[in-house]
Protein backbone atom coordinates (compact mmCIF):
# COMPACT_ATOMS: atom_id res chain seq x y z
CA UNK A 1 0.00 0.00 0.00
CA UNK A 2 1.24 3.49 -0.78
CA UNK A 3 2.06 5.71 2.18
CA UNK A 4 0.15 8.89 1.58
CA UNK A 5 2.33 11.82 0.38
CA UNK A 6 5.51 9.77 0.84
CA UNK A 7 6.02 8.79 -2.80
CA UNK A 8 8.30 10.91 -4.92
CA UNK A 9 7.47 10.98 -8.61
CA UNK A 10 10.30 12.25 -10.78
CA UNK A 11 8.96 13.63 -14.03
CA UNK A 12 11.26 12.67 -16.89
CA UNK A 13 10.14 12.36 -20.47
CA UNK A 14 12.71 9.70 -21.26
CA UNK A 15 10.88 8.95 -24.50
CA UNK A 16 11.83 12.37 -25.84
CA UNK A 17 15.36 11.03 -26.11
CA UNK A 18 14.03 8.45 -28.60
CA UNK A 19 16.85 6.00 -29.29
CA UNK A 20 20.63 6.20 -29.67
CA UNK A 21 20.23 8.79 -32.45
CA UNK A 22 19.47 11.21 -29.64
CA UNK A 23 22.18 9.88 -27.35
CA UNK A 24 23.42 13.24 -26.02
CA UNK A 25 20.01 14.34 -24.74
CA UNK A 26 19.21 10.90 -23.43
CA UNK A 27 22.49 10.61 -21.53
CA UNK A 28 21.98 14.02 -19.91
CA UNK A 29 18.47 13.07 -18.75
CA UNK A 30 19.49 9.67 -17.44
CA UNK A 31 22.57 11.08 -15.68
CA UNK A 32 20.27 13.50 -13.84
CA UNK A 33 17.90 10.69 -12.90
CA UNK A 34 20.78 8.62 -11.54
CA UNK A 35 22.10 11.48 -9.40
CA UNK A 36 18.62 12.20 -8.06
CA UNK A 37 17.92 8.55 -7.28
CA UNK A 38 21.19 8.31 -5.36
CA UNK A 39 20.50 11.49 -3.38
CA UNK A 40 16.92 10.52 -2.49
CA UNK A 41 18.00 7.13 -1.18
CA UNK A 42 21.05 8.47 0.65
CA UNK A 43 19.53 11.46 2.40
CA UNK A 44 15.80 10.68 2.80
CA UNK A 45 13.40 7.86 3.57
CA UNK A 46 11.25 8.77 0.55
CA UNK A 47 10.30 6.00 -1.86
CA UNK A 48 11.84 6.75 -5.24
CA UNK A 49 9.53 6.57 -8.26
CA UNK A 50 9.61 7.48 -11.92
CA UNK A 51 7.04 8.96 -14.27
CA UNK A 52 7.29 7.55 -17.78
CA UNK A 53 5.43 8.78 -20.86
CA UNK A 54 4.78 5.76 -23.05
CA UNK A 55 4.75 7.82 -26.21
CA UNK A 56 6.74 10.80 -27.45
CA UNK A 57 4.45 13.29 -29.12
CA UNK A 58 6.47 13.87 -32.28
CA UNK A 59 8.76 10.87 -32.50
CA UNK A 60 8.81 9.70 -36.15
CA UNK A 61 8.52 6.01 -35.25
CA UNK A 62 5.46 6.65 -33.08
CA UNK A 63 3.87 8.82 -35.76
CA UNK A 64 4.58 6.08 -38.28
CA UNK A 65 2.95 3.43 -36.08
CA UNK A 66 0.00 5.75 -35.53
CA UNK A 67 -0.44 6.30 -39.27
CA UNK A 68 -0.48 2.49 -39.61
CA UNK A 69 -3.34 2.37 -37.08
CA UNK A 70 -0.91 0.83 -34.57
CA UNK A 71 -0.62 -2.37 -36.58
CA UNK A 72 3.15 -1.87 -36.53
CA UNK A 73 5.11 -1.57 -33.27
CA UNK A 74 8.45 -0.08 -34.32
CA UNK A 75 8.32 2.64 -31.68
CA UNK A 76 7.52 0.16 -28.91
CA UNK A 77 10.22 -2.29 -29.98
CA UNK A 78 13.01 0.18 -30.65
CA UNK A 79 12.30 2.95 -28.13
CA UNK A 80 9.74 2.41 -25.39
CA UNK A 81 10.47 -1.11 -24.20
CA UNK A 82 14.28 -0.75 -24.17
CA UNK A 83 13.96 2.49 -22.20
CA UNK A 84 11.58 1.02 -19.64
CA UNK A 85 13.87 -1.96 -19.07
CA UNK A 86 16.85 0.37 -18.79
CA UNK A 87 15.34 2.65 -16.14
CA UNK A 88 14.05 -0.32 -14.10
CA UNK A 89 17.36 -2.19 -14.18
CA UNK A 90 19.49 0.93 -13.65
CA UNK A 91 17.50 3.03 -11.16
CA UNK A 92 15.18 0.43 -9.59
CA UNK A 93 12.15 2.67 -8.97
CA UNK A 94 9.59 1.52 -6.43
CA UNK A 95 6.84 3.27 -8.37
CA UNK A 96 6.37 3.44 -12.13
CA UNK A 97 3.79 6.06 -13.05
CA UNK A 98 2.91 5.43 -16.70
CA UNK A 99 1.10 8.01 -18.80
CA UNK A 100 0.58 9.20 -22.36
CA UNK A 101 -0.70 6.21 -24.29
CA UNK A 102 -1.55 8.33 -27.33
CA UNK A 103 -4.85 6.65 -28.13
CA UNK A 104 -3.29 3.19 -28.47
CA UNK A 105 -4.55 0.14 -26.58
CA UNK A 106 -2.31 -1.82 -24.23
CA UNK A 107 -1.77 -4.61 -26.76
CA UNK A 108 0.13 -2.12 -28.93
CA UNK A 109 2.27 -1.04 -25.98
CA UNK A 110 2.90 -4.63 -24.90
CA UNK A 111 1.86 -3.64 -21.40
CA UNK A 112 0.86 -7.14 -20.27
CA UNK A 113 4.25 -8.58 -21.23
CA UNK A 114 6.19 -5.74 -19.61
CA UNK A 115 4.20 -5.89 -16.36
CA UNK A 116 4.61 -9.68 -16.23
CA UNK A 117 8.38 -9.19 -16.39
CA UNK A 118 8.23 -6.30 -13.90
CA UNK A 119 6.28 -8.26 -11.27
CA UNK A 120 7.96 -11.64 -11.74
CA UNK A 121 11.55 -11.21 -12.93
CA UNK A 122 12.69 -7.59 -12.58
CA UNK A 123 15.04 -6.38 -9.81
CA UNK A 124 12.12 -4.50 -8.19
CA UNK A 125 9.55 -7.31 -8.43
CA UNK A 126 9.03 -7.49 -4.66
CA UNK A 127 8.51 -3.77 -4.04
CA UNK A 128 7.26 -2.03 -7.19
CA UNK A 129 3.76 -0.65 -7.70
CA UNK A 130 2.28 0.81 -10.87
CA UNK A 131 -0.71 2.92 -11.84
CA UNK A 132 -3.43 2.25 -14.40
CA UNK A 133 -2.31 4.21 -17.47
CA UNK A 134 -0.96 1.44 -19.68
CA UNK A 135 -3.19 1.88 -22.71
CA UNK A 136 -6.50 3.21 -23.93
CA UNK A 137 -9.35 1.74 -21.89
CA UNK A 138 -7.20 0.73 -18.90
CA UNK A 139 -8.04 3.67 -16.63
CA UNK A 140 -9.71 2.56 -13.40
CA UNK A 141 -9.45 -1.09 -14.51
CA UNK A 142 -5.85 -2.36 -14.51
CA UNK A 143 -3.00 -1.40 -12.20
CA UNK A 144 -1.64 -1.63 -8.69
CA UNK A 145 -3.46 1.60 -7.88
CA UNK A 146 -6.01 3.54 -9.90
CA UNK A 147 -5.85 7.18 -11.00
CA UNK A 148 -8.98 6.95 -13.20
CA UNK A 149 -8.54 10.52 -14.50
CA UNK A 150 -6.71 13.67 -13.47
CA UNK A 151 -8.07 15.24 -10.27
CA UNK A 152 -9.92 12.02 -9.38
CA UNK A 153 -11.52 12.26 -5.94
CA UNK A 154 -14.62 10.08 -5.50
CA UNK A 155 -15.34 11.47 -2.02
CA UNK A 156 -16.14 8.02 -0.60
CA UNK A 157 -14.14 4.87 0.18
CA UNK A 158 -13.42 2.68 -2.84
CA UNK A 159 -12.78 -1.06 -3.07
CA UNK A 160 -9.41 -0.38 -4.69
CA UNK A 161 -6.35 1.71 -3.82
CA UNK A 162 -6.58 5.02 -5.66
CA UNK A 163 -4.74 8.27 -6.14
CA UNK A 164 -5.75 11.85 -6.82
CA UNK A 165 -3.22 13.26 -9.29
CA UNK A 166 -3.61 17.01 -9.14
CA UNK A 167 -1.70 20.25 -9.53
CA UNK A 168 -0.82 23.33 -7.50
CA UNK A 169 -1.26 25.50 -10.58
CA UNK A 170 -4.86 25.36 -11.71
CA UNK A 171 -5.35 23.84 -15.14
CA UNK A 172 -1.72 23.18 -15.98
CA UNK A 173 0.83 20.42 -15.29
CA UNK A 174 3.68 22.60 -16.51
CA UNK A 175 4.91 26.05 -15.57
CA UNK A 176 3.06 29.02 -17.08
CA UNK A 177 4.90 32.23 -16.34
CA UNK A 178 1.93 34.46 -17.21
CA UNK A 179 -0.33 32.93 -14.53
CA UNK A 180 -1.47 35.37 -11.83
CA UNK A 181 -1.78 34.50 -8.14
CA UNK A 182 -5.42 33.43 -8.56
CA UNK A 183 -4.22 30.70 -10.89
CA UNK A 184 -2.74 28.72 -7.99
CA UNK A 185 -4.50 26.77 -5.27
CA UNK A 186 -3.96 28.25 -1.82
CA UNK A 187 -2.33 26.30 0.99
CA UNK A 188 -5.70 26.20 2.73
CA UNK A 189 -7.31 24.62 -0.34
CA UNK A 190 -4.48 22.11 -0.74
CA UNK A 191 -4.57 21.02 2.91
CA UNK A 192 -8.35 20.59 2.64
CA UNK A 193 -7.81 18.42 -0.44
CA UNK A 194 -5.17 16.32 1.33
CA UNK A 195 -7.47 15.72 4.30
CA UNK A 196 -10.51 14.76 2.22
CA UNK A 197 -8.49 12.44 -0.04
CA UNK A 198 -6.78 10.61 2.82
CA UNK A 199 -9.98 10.27 4.85
CA UNK A 200 -11.56 8.15 2.12
CA UNK A 201 -8.46 6.01 1.58
CA UNK A 202 -6.79 7.88 -1.27
CA UNK A 203 -3.24 8.93 -2.02
CA UNK A 204 -2.44 12.49 -3.08
CA UNK A 205 -0.02 13.17 -5.92
CA UNK A 206 0.69 16.89 -5.95
CA UNK A 207 2.35 18.18 -9.11
CA UNK A 208 4.45 21.29 -9.61
CA UNK A 209 5.78 22.58 -12.91
CA UNK A 210 9.44 23.65 -12.92
CA UNK A 211 10.78 26.32 -15.26
CA UNK A 212 12.58 25.44 -18.50
CA UNK A 213 15.90 25.40 -16.63
CA UNK A 214 14.68 23.30 -13.70
CA UNK A 215 13.91 25.97 -11.09
CA UNK A 216 11.01 25.70 -8.65
CA UNK A 217 9.30 29.07 -8.46
CA UNK A 218 8.67 30.69 -5.04
CA UNK A 219 4.89 30.17 -5.18
CA UNK A 220 5.40 26.40 -5.51
CA UNK A 221 8.08 26.40 -2.84
CA UNK A 222 5.82 28.29 -0.45
CA UNK A 223 2.94 25.85 -0.94
CA UNK A 224 5.15 22.79 -0.44
CA UNK A 225 6.86 24.20 2.64
CA UNK A 226 3.55 25.18 4.24
CA UNK A 227 2.01 21.76 3.56
CA UNK A 228 5.16 20.28 5.12
CA UNK A 229 4.70 22.59 8.11
CA UNK A 230 1.12 21.36 8.53
CA UNK A 231 2.21 17.72 8.23
CA UNK A 232 4.95 18.20 10.83
CA UNK A 233 2.16 18.80 13.36
CA UNK A 234 -0.67 16.69 11.96
CA UNK A 235 1.18 13.99 10.04
CA UNK A 236 0.53 11.21 12.54
CA UNK A 237 -3.14 11.28 11.47
CA UNK A 238 -2.20 11.23 7.77
CA UNK A 239 0.75 8.86 7.31
CA UNK A 240 -0.16 5.17 7.54
CA UNK A 241 -3.74 6.05 8.46
CA UNK A 242 -6.80 4.19 7.21
CA UNK A 243 -10.43 5.30 6.81
CA UNK A 244 -12.50 5.15 9.97
CA UNK A 245 -16.07 3.85 10.33
CA UNK A 246 -17.20 7.34 9.28
CA UNK A 247 -15.14 9.38 6.84
CA UNK A 248 -17.14 12.62 6.97
CA UNK A 249 -19.00 13.68 10.09
CA UNK A 250 -22.76 13.14 10.08
CA UNK A 251 -23.53 16.66 11.34
CA UNK A 252 -20.49 18.75 10.40
CA UNK A 253 -19.39 18.49 6.76
CA UNK A 254 -16.13 20.31 7.60
CA UNK A 255 -14.89 17.40 9.74
CA UNK A 256 -13.15 14.35 8.24
CA UNK A 257 -11.90 11.26 10.07
CA UNK A 258 -9.02 8.80 9.91
CA UNK A 259 -8.09 5.84 12.09
CA UNK A 260 -4.51 5.37 13.29
CA UNK A 261 -4.72 2.05 15.12
CA UNK A 262 -4.77 1.41 18.86
CA UNK A 263 -2.89 2.63 21.92
CA UNK A 264 -1.03 0.35 24.36
CA UNK A 265 -4.25 -0.47 26.22
CA UNK A 266 -6.03 -1.56 23.03
CA UNK A 267 -8.26 1.50 22.79
CA UNK A 268 -8.95 2.88 19.31
CA UNK A 269 -7.21 6.05 18.14
CA UNK A 270 -9.38 8.19 15.86
CA UNK A 271 -8.53 11.56 14.34
CA UNK A 272 -11.08 14.25 13.49
CA UNK A 273 -9.67 16.91 11.15
CA UNK A 274 -11.49 20.23 11.21
CA UNK A 275 -11.29 22.28 8.00
CA UNK A 276 -13.03 25.41 9.35
CA UNK A 277 -12.89 26.87 12.85
CA UNK A 278 -16.36 27.34 14.41
CA UNK A 279 -17.25 30.85 15.55
CA UNK A 280 -18.67 29.76 18.91
CA UNK A 281 -15.55 27.89 20.05
CA UNK A 282 -17.24 24.50 20.32
CA UNK A 283 -17.54 21.53 17.99
CA UNK A 284 -20.37 19.00 17.80
CA UNK A 285 -19.47 15.64 16.25
CA UNK A 286 -22.47 13.54 15.28
CA UNK A 287 -20.38 10.51 14.28
CA UNK A 288 -19.33 10.05 17.91
CA UNK A 289 -22.90 9.75 19.19
CA UNK A 290 -22.73 6.04 20.01
CA UNK A 291 -19.04 5.86 20.96
CA UNK A 292 -17.46 6.01 24.39
CA UNK A 293 -14.74 8.68 24.24
CA UNK A 294 -11.98 8.54 26.85
CA UNK A 295 -9.94 11.61 25.91
CA UNK A 296 -9.57 14.35 23.29
CA UNK A 297 -6.45 16.35 22.47
CA UNK A 298 -5.46 18.72 19.68
CA UNK A 299 -2.25 17.91 17.85
CA UNK A 300 0.27 20.69 18.36
CA UNK A 301 -0.94 21.49 21.89
CA UNK A 302 1.18 19.16 23.96
CA UNK A 303 -0.26 18.01 27.27
CA UNK A 304 -3.59 19.82 26.86
CA UNK A 305 -6.70 17.68 27.30
CA UNK A 306 -9.83 19.20 25.82
CA UNK A 307 -13.14 19.29 27.65
CA UNK A 308 -16.00 17.33 26.10
CA UNK A 309 -19.43 16.00 26.96
CA UNK A 310 -21.96 13.64 25.40
CA UNK A 311 -25.25 15.10 24.20
CA UNK A 312 -28.31 13.67 22.50
CA UNK A 313 -26.84 14.80 19.16
CA UNK A 314 -23.25 13.66 19.57
CA UNK A 315 -19.97 14.64 21.23
CA UNK A 316 -19.65 18.33 22.16
CA UNK A 317 -16.01 19.50 22.40
CA UNK A 318 -14.81 22.81 23.81
CA UNK A 319 -12.03 24.04 21.55
CA UNK A 320 -8.96 25.82 22.92
CA UNK A 321 -8.09 29.46 22.33
CA UNK A 322 -5.37 29.60 19.68
CA UNK A 323 -3.34 32.83 19.32
CA UNK A 324 -2.90 34.30 15.80
CA UNK A 325 0.86 33.66 16.00
CA UNK A 326 0.36 29.92 16.44
CA UNK A 327 1.55 27.39 13.86
CA UNK A 328 -1.85 25.72 14.17
CA UNK A 329 -3.64 26.85 11.01
CA UNK A 330 -5.29 25.72 7.75
CA UNK A 331 -6.83 22.64 9.42
CA UNK A 332 -6.88 21.38 13.00
CA UNK A 333 -6.66 17.78 14.18
CA UNK A 334 -8.36 16.30 17.23
CA UNK A 335 -6.93 12.96 18.35
CA UNK A 336 -9.42 10.92 20.33
CA UNK A 337 -9.12 7.73 22.35
CA UNK A 338 -12.22 5.53 22.01
CA UNK A 339 -13.07 2.52 24.13
* pLDDT (average), residues 252-273: 93
Please give the pLDDT value at position 18: 41
CA 241 to CA 259: how far, in whole Å? Answer: 6
Prediction pTM value? 0.90
Please give the pLDDT value at position 61: 97
Please give the pLDDT value at position 171: 86
Q: What is the pLDDT of residues 85-105, one digit of tens each?
A: 999 999 999 999 999 999 999
pLDDT > 90 fraction of the chain, expressed in percent and rounded = 79
Please give the pLDDT value at position 169: 95
Number of DSSP helices (H) and strands (E) in the chain, helices first: 8, 13
On the 0-12 / 13-18 / 19+ scale of CB atoms within 10 A, 168 is: buried
Please give the pLDDT value at position 325: 77
Please give the pLDDT value at position 30: 60
HEC string of 227-257 equals HHHHHHHHHHHCCCCECCCCCECCCCCCEEE
Q: What is the pLDDT of residues 35-93, one digit of tens each?
A: 989 999 999 999 999 999 999 989 999 999 999 999 999 999 999 999 999 999 999 99
The CA–CA distances, whole Å, from 67 to 43, 103, 128, 175, 190 equal 46, 12, 34, 31, 42
Q: What is the pLDDT of residues 136-165, one digit of tens each?
A: 999 999 899 999 999 999 999 999 999 999
Amino acid sequence: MLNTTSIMIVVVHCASGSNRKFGVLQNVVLHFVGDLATAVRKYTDIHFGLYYSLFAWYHPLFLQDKSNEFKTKDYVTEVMRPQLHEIVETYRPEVIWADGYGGAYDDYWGSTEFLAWLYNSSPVKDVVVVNDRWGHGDLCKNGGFFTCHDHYNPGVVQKFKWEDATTIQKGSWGYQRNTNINGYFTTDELVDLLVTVVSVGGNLLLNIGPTHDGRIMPVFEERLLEIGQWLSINGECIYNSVPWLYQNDTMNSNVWYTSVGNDTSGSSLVCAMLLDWPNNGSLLLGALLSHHVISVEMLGLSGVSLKFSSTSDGLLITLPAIPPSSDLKWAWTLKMVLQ
